[in-house]
Amino acid sequence: MARFELKLPKMGESVAEATITNWLKEVGDRIEADEAVLEIATDKVDSEVPSEVSGVLIEQLFGKDDLVQVGQTIAIIETEGDAPAETKTEETVIPAAAAEIEKTIEAVKETVTAPQDFTSSDKFFSPLVKNIAKEEGVSVAELNSIQGSGKDGRVTKEDILKYIEDRKSGAVTVKVAETPKTVEAPKVVEPAVQKSQQAVPVSVNGGDEIIEMDRMRKLISGYMVASVQTSAHVQSFIEVDVTNIVKWRDKVKTAFEKREGEKLTFTPIMMEAVAKALKDFPGMNISVDGDYIIKKKNINLGMAAALPNGNLIVPVIKNADQLNLVGMAKAVNDLGNRAKAGKLKPDDTQGGTYTVTNVGTFGSVFGTPIINQPQVGILALGAIRKVPAVIETPEGDFIGIRQKMFLSHSYDHRVVDGALGGSFVKRVAEYLEAFDVDRDF
């Protein structure tokens, strides 16, 4: 018999850890190759971890709700045949894992301090210097003690890196704060939460049902509140005549599905227009990091999708500006179908630079969506409706029935002014209204 170590697989470049949400197999259960053993969750996506081998689950090294790092062994499966050369025996796995955990705990005890509040210092520190300080565990007191070589004595990147190097070599003595090294974050947050609860009392009577939020809803709740607190939201609205698009889609949708094997919805047509507008206005394809603006090289469009349980997820179409309409339709359908089936991978939700949400799916005429951080804009597509409209012709104006919709653009007023925010959504409208009804798909 051999022992196989089931490890947490790599789930994307930006994903380093996951939480175990449910064990699908218990100790003693038989497992077939490629069969799911447990369910995990990142901050964006829930997924399953399959077994690479067939055998019997003999040990679970982590429990439900435990946080696991990518590459860590999470279970031991006993298989028939010789053990792979690199597989460790149970006697070496457990002590090694225990030693590693103990080492990590000790390291945390030594390095974790109360959250650094750099605003308490009278000195100015650039975001870069503050980030380096946080990563290297340099306290505010230590920063204040560094003699800066920059203008007006400011601490530069070179200054703090030299200080860190000297500190590691013992050339300088670490200035320790008077307060003990303990994690005070919960104590800081608790009073604020209590005040909030006292300010907004909730009365419950015998007929009310109390339901705890699931994990994803708690995450969404946190993201939404953080976004509103971070970005200065402002909206621009524009009405668009999409009669030509509706007529064209009605004309080609059957042939499109027959040739491509995909349904043609309005979403890829809208996404194509948004991608073109982002190329015209790169100032909307940015993110904010402190006092710095990061211009994104790629145009990666997020498309908000509702899950069967009512929660929301935002899969991302990478390099959307490089796709033709067929490619866009395939990408939209693939991500939408996998979102509904719960088959999205963590990488599918990473790297978005701008988001589109179709509120018209639920009959809404327009909406004021919340920005998906750290992006600076999000576009809501309203429902397409038949409305009476004034039609201008060389013979004069007359009233006719047109297919119209509203575009609602929410943007971050910290870095996007009304001129840019309004011009961008107007350009999207222009692309939609100029849609070529004679084009091929």
Q: For residue 22, what are the β-bridge partners?
A: 39
Residue position matching structure tokens 């429902």: 383
Q: What angle do CA 422, 428, 429 make, to 5 degrees?
A: 90
Instruction: Exactly one of 214, 280, 417, 438 is catalytic; name it.
Output: 417
- The SS3 of residue 60 is strand
Could you give the CA distance from residue 197 to residue 181 in angstroms, rounded to a whole number?
Answer: 30
Q: For residue 2, what are the β-bridge partners?
A: 79
Catalytic (active site) residue 417: yes
DSSP secondary structure string, 331-368? HHHHHHHHHHTT---GGGGS--SEEEE-GGGGT-S---
- Give every CB contact of residue 287 below 8 A, 6+ residues apart in sequence: 293, 294, 296, 353, 374, 375, 376
Is-contact 49 74, C-beta < 8 A? yes
Question: DSSP H helical segments within 90-241, as ranges?
Answer: 90-111, 127-136, 140-145, 157-169, 185-199, 215-230
34 phi and psi angles, rounded to 5 deg? 70, 5
Instruction: Exactly one of 413, 436, 438, 440 is catalytic; name it.
Output: 413
Could you give the CA distance from residue 326 to residue 151 in angstroms, rounded to a whole number?
Answer: 55
Beta strands 17-23 and 301-303: pairing type?
unpaired
Q: Which helix or strand (DSSP H or E) is residue 412 part of?
A: strand 396-412
Catalytic (active site) residue 409: no
Could you give the CA distance from residue 346 to residue 241 in angstroms, rounded to a whole number?
Answer: 37
- The SS3 of residue 272 is helix
The sign one gets for the Cα dihedral 51, 55, 60, 65 is: positive
Peptide bond into 374 cis (omega under 30): yes
CA atoms within 13 A on the CB side of 14: 12
Q: Which residues are marked as active site? A: 413, 417
